[in-house]
A and B are shown apart, each in its own frame.
Chain A
Amino acid sequence: MANQNSTVPTTVATEPPVLSTHGMSIRFGGHVAVNNVSCEFRPGTLTAIVGPNGAGKTTYFNLISGQLTATSGSVRLYGEDITALGAAQRTRRGIGRAFQLTNLFPNLTVLENVRIAVQGKAGLGVNLLSMWSSHIELIEKAEHYLHRVGLLERRTEIAAVLPHGDKRKLEIAILLALEPDILMFDEPTAGMGVEEVPIILDLIRQIKAQGDKTILLVEHKMDVVRSLADRIIVLHNGYLVADGDPDEVMASPIVQEAYLGTGVAEHV
């Protein structure tokens, strides 16, 4: 099929974007971490965001999910401007985020970590007088997501004592439990054992195959990016320097120079 618009591959080009950023910048003192980035994300696609360390990938994620507020520019969700909303409100509207540095509730059990997310999605947070343990449907749902990441048998353990790989899986179970429309993975396989990586990649592939979710993925491993992404955008020094079909972007001279020139040897 002919590709009319090089920034949006495949057949979904006609669908309106779920999420978009418009001229978004953030400045920390004199340093502009993300500089005038405009980009649209469509349902059913997986967009990989690549770039060298310090390029502004995680900052860009923080601007989308609301941990940071842009100095200028805007974020739109289903066409509605959500720039003024905080992280909690954006999550409630369907933007789910897994963090690069594992970010759990350390002294709660594995199950409780996920159950809290399920409960947030169900909107039961201000229920004061029922017992949490009487909401069996929430617990079953949490167990379902733990099963999907392969952590069900560790559900009674305290999150802080899990090995690193399992913490990463738990992080992803929490994201899934939010049942978001937009899933943002920030280096989901970082620090994981070689044998564990496929579990996470299969999971992302399954979510993508559902066809209705929008997935954003920050990832260093180029083989992972190649096997999952429909589209790659490249950030460099805060600028969006390339955007398009994976093969096309990988081949472009600017990427070779800016990222892959040094990155290939390190990360593949």
Chain B
Amino acid sequence: MLAKLFSGDFPRSRVLAALLLVILFSLACAPFLTTGARMLNVAATICIFIVLAASYDLLLGYTGIVSFAHTMFYGIGAYGVGLALNSIAANWWAVFAGVIAALLLSLALALVIGLFSLRVKAIFFAMITLAVASAFAVLASQLSDFTGGEDGRSFTVPEILHPDFRLFDAEVFGRVIDGKLITYYLVFCSALVLFLLMLRIVNSPFGRVLQAIRENDFRAEALGYRTAIYRTIGNCLAALIATLAGALMTLWLRYVGPATFLSFEVMTDVLLIVVIGGMGTLYGAVIGATLLILAQNYLHALMGQTSAALSGIPWLSMLFHPDRWLLWLGVLFVLSVYFFPSGIVGRLRRSARPA
């Protein structure tokens, strides 16, 4: 049963399993563990970035494809749902129509990009995706009548997801069951299902072909696998899942805009998550996303406290000034890549093997 759920791909390290359980438990109970809106926002962002980074890992870690268009698909999902809710009506039909339209657009784009460029050299594919993604981002900002331009669009979500909505009058475990909490569980459950689906895909016969292509595409071709087709299918799957992640994020934020969904920073975040967590493991996306999102949200505050504690010492308090938080984030990344070249998951699994 458990093997089926995890597709036979267990963490294979006690420390990793414990970490994953802590993350799963914290995310599952987040609304009841915290009261602040900020922490719930962090939890929802972690859920969505796990899906987004894991879908990117399908490409980078499992198939060995470097794509820069992943945030474009994420953005397509966000804009699809956001604009549908904004221009049709605040109901589930609009959400449904937006998701379907976004999935179709993503599929078409991924298919075209894949068929045109996955047959040739990897660098060419990377360049094409960069160009298409930049063009899409420019388009989204320029079509301001439709997309709201740089400002993006805020919109009303279906009633049940609205923060003012109350499911019960009474509180449950000391918390009002409101629309925000329902949205959180929609995000959490969707993320969990999508993650388990990806775990199944990478452990399916198809997933094994992707890994074979990553290892030696020449030989995979010689075994009768048409690698361009497999790469294209992988590219389309990753794009579709990123689209769903975007749709979830926009429902959570009740906002869609280019800076949040299409900027290159989102792409670098995803890259960092996959590399730090461990490429080609999927679980790496969970660890990486949790670390990065937590660091982005709390490193600033943590440094504020450290700086205040060191206020007597001139040099150190300067060094730990909250304004330097990006510097320290950078240092943390350099160190983690240096000490864990195969990512945190790779490192944990290696140290678990002799035991």
Contacts and interface: CB of A to CB of B under 8 A. Distances in A.
Given A129-B201, A133-B8, A104 B226 contact: no
Contacts of B215: 105-108
A125 B205 contact: yes
Given A65-B222, A103-B218, A105-B219, A133 B227 contact: no
Contact of B200 (A112, A115, A126, A129): A129
Contacts of A116: 208-209, 212, 220, 223
Contacts of B223: 88, 91, 116-117, 120, 174, 178
B224 A92 contact: yes
25 contacts: A65-B222, A67-B218, A87-B222, A89-B226, A103-B222, A105-B219, A106-B215, A115-B208, A116-B208, A116-B209, A120-B209, A120-B223, A121-B224, A124-B205, A125-B209, A126-B206, A127-B204, A127-B205, A128-B237, A130-B204, A131-B7, A132-B205, A135-B205, A174-B223, A178-B224
B240 to A, nearest CB: 12
A107 B213 CA distance: 12
B222 A67 contact: yes
8 smallest beta-carbon distances between A and B, as pairs: A91-B224, A105-B215, A120-B224, A127-B205, A88-B226, A92-B224, A124-B205, A120-B223
B207 interface: yes
B203 interface: yes
Contacts of A130: 204-205
Nearest to B197: A129
B209 A133 contact: no
Contacts, number: 98
A86 interface: yes
A105 B216 contact: yes
- Majority secondary structure of chain B interface residues (helix, strand, loop or mixed): helix
B208 A119 contact: yes
Given A105-B216, A132-B205, A133-B8, A86 B221 contact: yes
Interface of A: 65, 67, 86-89, 91-92, 97, 99, 103-108, 112, 115-117, 119-121, 124-133, 135, 174, 178
A97 B222 CA distance: 7
A136 B211 CA distance: 20
Most chain B CB atoms below 10 A, which of A105, A108, A124, A129: A105
Contacts of B220: 105, 116
A178 to B, nearest CB: 7
Contacts of B208: 112, 115-116, 119, 132
B225 interface: yes
A116 B222 CA distance: 11
A241 B222 CA distance: 29
B324 to A, nearest CB: 40
B298 to A, nearest CB: 36
Contacts of A120: 209, 223-225
Contacts of B237: 128
A92 B226 CA distance: 10
A119 B222 contact: no
B233 A126 contact: yes
Contact of A127 (B206, B216, B225): B206
B130 to A, nearest CB: 28
A145 to B, nearest CB: 13
A99 B221 CA distance: 13
B216 A106 contact: yes
A116 B8 CA distance: 18
B232 to A, nearest CB: 11
Contacts of A103: 216, 218-219, 222
Contact of A88 (B203, B216, B224): B224
